[in-house]
Amino acid sequence: MKNFQKWRTISLILIFVISMSAVPQHIRSQEILPETTTAPIIDGNVTTIEWVNSLNFSSIVAGKNASVFVTSLNDNLYIGFNTTTDRFILVNNTLPDTAENTNDTNGLWNDRGVDYNNATHDWFMLQIDNNLDRESIGTESSPDDAIIIDQYDNSSYDGYLNGNSTHPTNQDLANNGTNDGNAVRLNYTLDDQEYFSYEFQKPLNQLDTNGSDFLFDQSKVLQFRFTIWSNQTANATIDQGSSSEWFSMRINETGTGFALKDAINTTLSITLSVDEAGKYNALTTILEHYQFSVNARSISEFGSDSLNIVIFGSGSNQTQSRMKELAALLSLGGTALIFASADSTGQSNLILDELNVEFLPNQVLTLDDDGNKTSKLVITEFNSDLPFIEGNTSITNEQVNALTWSTAGFNISSANNLTAQRYFLSQEYRLYDLFELPPMTVYDANNDGNISDGETNFGLSVGFAVDLLKGGRIVVLPSSSMLENDNIIQADNIDWLLRLIPWNNRIVNTLQIHSTKLNRHVVEVGDSIKFTNNVTDEFGNSLGNINVDVQIVLVGNTIISATPKQIGTSSIYEAEITVDRNGHLNIESFAFALGYGFIQGQILSIISERQVGSFNDLSDLSLIMSIIFLATIGLIVITLKKASAMAE
């Protein structure tokens, strides 16, 4: 084995194909939703005293300075807003005051007049982004929550935006939901300037699925914005109003655990295809709010100082030469989180082939509790050798109980053999599965959505990890759908990702070698030396099931190997090695544990000399003198014979 220098830590590698122009807008990061002791009074009067325990933002809305206040108490969210205005239409005289709306079928607009929705006046909306995708009108698959205030009579209703560009706002009650939000506006004049202010109250976690109410505990991040319609009808489109920027903050559940390496401000280099950038807006928002530094890179470079998450989407245009660059970076100790794709198997397979893994681009199916087939994979069991799933970390204390996403698979049956020696770019590695799949999980080979005869889960994996001898780590998943806006907030996907990234980057759950010792550094050929290693986890705790390897190396070639044994249950590993070569030799040691990866110990040098004779007594000298005397007599005899022959 070659003499490997100690690898240096390289942060996470995110490989998407993106141009710098596709970088999502900056999100205020590291903001925590505060809690107050006294709830603000929802009367529209935004006073400093009642919002003293709040998170404050300054913004520009409709060309005017605005102030935003956010706080919470007893599972309720409170938001305040005030700004100046050039126009305020409180009463629209075209509205009949008493006419009954005979076309009204749901009882929502009684006594407001048949022309109510067509009359122009001012509206104000709080929009809460349910899946953090920053879609201005929500989407059909994930409508955005909203509270809309009508300036005409200062009423409000709980609503949602479902992606309909013509009629963007809908009422919860009209969809058999509940009206569980509250909002009040207040208008006043001060120093000849017209002001208007609003106060909102809404449950943080309201189980009103018909009304598409948001769940703060699910998304972990609250993201919202405001839209003002001045002199518009109730059916005005979003682009007819003036919207603020997005404001965002996260739940206060920062972990109390710690790591020896700094996980906070870890750089994540993101590159993705321009036409797919919007799919991962939620991912970017979440990572920034958990204090990861998210940067974009051009397609001509990988981040040697950051974690590269590689997403092969339908727009991926990575070349074979680029994949070779990535492989070279990984072989030098880099770390990567790779998402393969059926649309770019030729690119992702360059690395998979090196690992002796077969990519299965079709869907993976499983049976639910009712025996129904589904392509929405649910994972509740994880590899017990991977400690990052449990315990507290410096990022989050939230535990992971289940994951869900639509995915393809891998066949790792030929690679997942822990007893075999395998090499990635001439470097030894270990490959292991991330998950334990449910028993009735199979690979849908014909991709027809059914579990057919002959379709089994033999060798099937939906995610695996690779530890490289030089300290690098690769995590490979068969689909990026887990990261997409609608999926990342499902089940415990966010919590798993927040645990996976530091582990993938070898920040948590690592090995350390405190000392490497020899009992002697100068020996003779045939002598034995005693080797000692002190191997623990990053906190100095002794671990079982650590594989320690020690080798004597001459000019880069291994000439002697040994496997040190653990002394009891301690962290000490010892081996006795007989030196059978002379010269200047190096002793190298490596340790490996599943879930902790490789680490190299201190390289030690020894000098080995061949044995030579010694003069211990007179008998040794007499023997040598006798040999010299006999040799001299023999030489004289030979000389005399030659002289006699010449005389004749």
Per-residue CA distances from 235 to 98, 181, 365, 528 (Å): 22, 21, 43, 89
Do the beta carbons of residue 357 and residue 463 sit within 8 Å? Answer: no
**Span 212-230, average pLDDT:** 90
Please report which confidence band the pLDDT of residue 297 belongs to, taking 50, 70 and 90 as the band edges: low
Please report which confidence band the pLDDT of residue 3 belongs to, taking 50, 70 and 90 as the band edges: very low
What token pair was written down for 237?
């489109």
Return the CATH fold of 511-609: Immunoglobulin-like (2.60.40)
**Span 218-222, average pLDDT:** 90
Rounded-to-integer distance, Cα 502 and Cα 12, Å: 8
Q: Can you give the pLDDT at residue 496? A: 95
Residue 635 has pLDDT above 70, yes or no: no
- The residue with greater pLDDT, 614 or 513, is 513
Do the beta carbons of residue 331 and residue 6 sit within 8 Å? Answer: no
Locate the domains of the chain by residue range. 33-250, 267-504, 511-609, 619-648
Portion of the chain with pLDDT greater than 70, in percent:
76
Do the beta carbons of residue 40 and residue 51 sit within 8 Å? Answer: yes
Note the maximum CA span of the chain. Answer: 159
**Span 23-33, average pLDDT:** 55
Question: What is the rounded average pLDDT for all residues in the chain?
Answer: 79
What token pair was written down for 360?
């299965």
Residues in the chain: 648
What token pair was written down for 354?
């090196």
Q: Can you give the pLDDT at residue 16? A: 29
Residue 397: exposed, middle, or buried by beta-carbon count in 10 A (0-12, 13-18, 19+)?
middle
Residues 6+ apart with CB under 8 A from 258: 394
Please report which confidence band the pLDDT of residue 228 belongs to, taking 50, 70 and 90 as the band edges: confident
Residue 647 has pLDDT above 60, yes or no: no
Same topology between domain 33-250 and domain 511-609:
yes
CA proximity to 338, closest of 477, 507, 498, 485: 477
Question: Which CATH code fits 33-250?
Answer: 2.60.40
pLDDT tens for 385-422 read: 899 998 888 888 888 999 998 889 999 987 776 556 67
Q: Can you give the pLDDT at residue 623? A: 58
Please name the amino acid found at residue 175.
Answer: N
**Span 147-174, average pLDDT:** 84
Residue 278 has pLDDT above 90, yes or no: no
- The residue with greater pLDDT, 468 or 342, is 468
Return the CATH fold of 267-504: Rossmann fold (3.40.50)
Which has the minimum average pLDDT: 256-270, 294-308, 315-329? 294-308
Which has the minimum average pLDDT: 198-202, 344-348, 594-598? 344-348
Relative to beta strand 473-477, strand 335-339 is: parallel
pLDDT tens for 473-511 read: 999 999 888 999 999 999 999 999 999 998 998 888 999
Residue 315 has pLDDT above 80, yes or no: no
pTM (predicted TM-score): 0.81
Half-sphere CA count of 22, side-chain side, radius 13 A: 19
pLDDT tens for 45-91 read: 898 889 999 999 998 888 888 999 999 999 999 999 988 776 555 44
Half-sphere CA count of 432, side-chain side, radius 13 A: 19
Q: Can you give the pLDDT at residue 614? A: 52
Which has the minimum average pLDDT: 223-232, 451-460, 542-551? 451-460
**Span 149-155, average pLDDT:** 75
Do the beta carbons of residue 297 and residue 10 sit within 8 Å? Answer: no
